[in-house]
Amino acid sequence: MEKKQTRTSLEQELKAAGDATRAAQVARYFKTGKGEYGEGDIFLGIPVPVMRRIALKHRMLVLADLQKLLDSKIHDHRAAALEILAVQFTRGDERLREEIVRLYLRNTSRINNWDLVDGSARPILGEYLKTRPRTILRKLAKSKSVWERRIAIISTMTLVWAGELDDAMEISEMLLDDEHDLIHKAVGWVLREAGVEDRVRLIAFLEKHYARMPRTALRYAIEHFPPVQRKKALAGSFDPS
């Protein structure tokens, strides 16, 4: 008889899959030192594919258990919870999707590193907003929390992939003066994808905002440009041809 999958069994399997040496390396990579953006976070040292495999075995956990995982001090617990929430959102009915989004927005303080944001904002909030008003994006983009601001811009990626660029362009413009490198990268990443959909519109945006744009954001945004056009863009010359 197959063993029942519980929150306890999930935590036990994650712990067993951990590696202390890898955990120390990952902690440094995710900037957990004093004064860094991931200060104090605890890692078990689990490769992402392994974490996902364990999480998916436990994809039927109830929201109350997922909330407890989000409350955990251990990064891998929170990552597993978000992985499960994304799967449940994809497969859930309208009522469950509403509950998941409410839980997600209540827990933005626990979605507190770029990997947690990037793995969850698109399949949960981004998908949800494809058929709903996007007011929440402006609210998040104005937040003092770097993670809420990153959720705002990364969520628009889903809309871009659906051919809707307006929100991505607006949120990108709102965040151009952001001081955090993690936001510069996210803005550039989203603009790059917007350019795949509409290169002319991206070039118009870059030309208009060139003087304000952080160099990191600009470099990410023009990654798909041919080398000559990319060099010109870095110097402020935007030839659409």
Q: What is the DSSP letter of 108?
A: G
Are residues 110 and 204 located together in one domain of the fold?
no
Are residues 173 and 188 located together in one domain of the fold?
yes
Q: What is the mean pLDDT of residues 2-8?
A: 84
Helix (H) or strand (E) segment spanning residue 213: none
Are residues 194 and 120 located together in one domain of the fold?
no
pLDDT confidence bin for 238, thresholds 50/70/90: confident
DSSP of 137-185: HHHHHT-S-HHHHHHHHHHHHHHHHTT--HHHHHHHHHTTT---HHHHH
Are residues 33 and 94 located together in one domain of the fold?
yes
Angle at 159 between CA 147 and CA 179, to 5 degrees: 30
Please report how many Cα atoms fall inside a 13 Å half-sphere around the Cα of residue 195, on the Cβ side: 22
- What's the maximum distance between 2 C-alpha atoms anywhere in the chain? 67
Listed in sequence order, the DSSP H helices in 92-134 are 94-106, 114-120, 127-129
pLDDT exceeds cutoff 80 at 1:
no
Are residues 108 and 166 located together in one domain of the fold?
no
Q: Which one-letter amino acid corresponds to residue 82?
A: L
Q: How many domains does the chain have?
A: 2
Q: What is the CATH number of the domain that holds 45?
A: 1.25.10.90
Q: Which one-letter amino acid corresponds to residue 45?
A: G
Residues 6+ apart with CB under 8 A from 47: 22
Tokens of 194: 């917007």
Last residue of some domain: 92, 116, 132? 132
**What is the residue range of 36's domain?**
1-132
Last residue of some domain: 108, 132, 156? 132
Are residues 66 and 123 located together in one domain of the fold?
yes
Q: What is the mean pLDDT of residues 10-22?
A: 97
Are residues 195 and 118 located together in one domain of the fold?
no
Secondary structure (3-state) at 23: helix
Angle at 227 between CA 222 and CA 229, to 5 degrees: 65
Residue-level pLDDT at 2: 53
Are residues 217 and 148 located together in one domain of the fold?
yes
Q: What is the CATH number of the domain that holds 185?
A: 1.25.40.290
Are residues 194 and 95 located together in one domain of the fold?
no
Are residues 157 and 127 located together in one domain of the fold?
no
Last residue of some domain: 98, 115, 132? 132
Are residues 5 and 120 located together in one domain of the fold?
yes
Are residues 128 and 11 located together in one domain of the fold?
yes
Q: What is the DSSP letter of 5?
A: P
Which pLDDT tens digit goes with each residue over 93-130?
999 999 999 999 999 999 999 999 999 999 999 999 99
Cβ atoms of residues 76 and 69 within 8 Å = no
Which pLDDT tens digit goes with each residue over 173-193?
999 999 999 999 999 999 999
